[in-house]
Amino acid sequence: MIYLDYQATTPLAPEAREAMLAWLGGPDSDTFGNPHSPHRMGRMAAAAVEVARDQVATLFPPGGQVIFTGSATEAINLAIRGNAAVRSGEHIAFSAIEHAAVIDTVKAIGNWTELPVGPDGLIAPDVEMPKYVGLMCVMQLNNEIGTIQPIAAMAERAKETGALLLVDGVQAAGKMALPPKADMIAVSAHKLHGPKGIGALWVRDGLSLIPHVEGGGQEQGLRSGTLSPALCAGFGAAAALAVERMEEDAAHVEELWQIARDAFSGWTLNGSAEQRWHGNLNIRRDGLDVARLMSECREVMFSAGSACASGSGRTSHVLRAIGLSDAQAKSSIRLGWGRYTTRDDMQRACSIILDAADSQA
């Protein structure tokens, strides 16, 4: 099988797997300790967690702390629900193409404004803002169409309005520098070749949050629950590797982008052609039956939209936000690739998809 769904999840890096194995710990080992226990085995596990925390911190700008969570969704919930401004009723602004983790959380709280994007999938730097905003939520790199938001400009707008800036950095982490002027950044291990089941929230020094998961007071009192040293170690190893290989991985992604763009030259690109990550190709062909296409291309793993909304039957809110009709959205596919995708993989996948698409004509 050929895997082209890197926005949904990424293959576990061998280095991350090895780091995890060391802390899975059977009964004859000394590596299964609770990292919150005071004895020697607990201190060993705690030390492994702190090494991982330092490794994950290299993804972020200096001047903040890393809080481990069970996912990026949990990290986003902590950032929004644990924010004093939000809890006091201040307004929340978010882009129309945010992940459901942001949109659903914000709408459950209320008192929000959705910031529109243009056909290119970008927020205009001079977008009209509500008068009083306590929190602004902007995704750096969109998971569906791959557009890169003008985060620096949005950070300035947040500063002008006195708002804090929460950045969903899930797709961007390990691929590009995360924004230095953000106040909070959420990331997920499994989107950068780490394990599923762990994420992190970076919080700028001096910013206080209120926990929304109570219990044992772990993670500086912000996220109660016993940490998994194995998951932390895998996340740390994956993060360190991503930082080390960032330029190499980007060059490889660019090479594959050229192959895919040439192959699908007659298809329409969804979103900006310039401000985007070249490991995400969201394209459409009018009249294409995507369900049939996916059924006929069983050797190639790709997406008809965001994996988080698959099976819902709903048109992608991201594709609607950039002005696509339901018919255009439903004739769109998303291909995603990365570190472990080969040239042969890409060439063969493009050939398979194109042959199947042409058979519908």
Q: Which residues participate in catalysis according to the annotation?
A: 308
* Contact between 24 and 230 (Cβ < 8 Å): yes
Q: Which two tokens stand for residue 191?
A: 């989107």
Distance CA 11, CA 288 (A): 29
List the beta bridge partners of residue 203: 65, 184
Strand order in the sheet with 332-336: 268-269, 280-284, 332-336
In the three-class reduction of DSSP (H, G, I as helix; E, B as strand; rest coil), residue 304 is classed as coil
List the beta bridge partners of residue 291: none
Report the interhelical angle of 40-57 vs 229-244 (nearest 10°): 30
Distance CA 163, CA 180 (A): 16
Residue with tokens 């950095």: 169
Query: DSSP labels for 177-215?
Result: PPPTT-SEEEEEGGGTTS-TT-EEEEEETT--B--SS-S
Q: Which two tokens stand for residue 150?
A: 């003008």
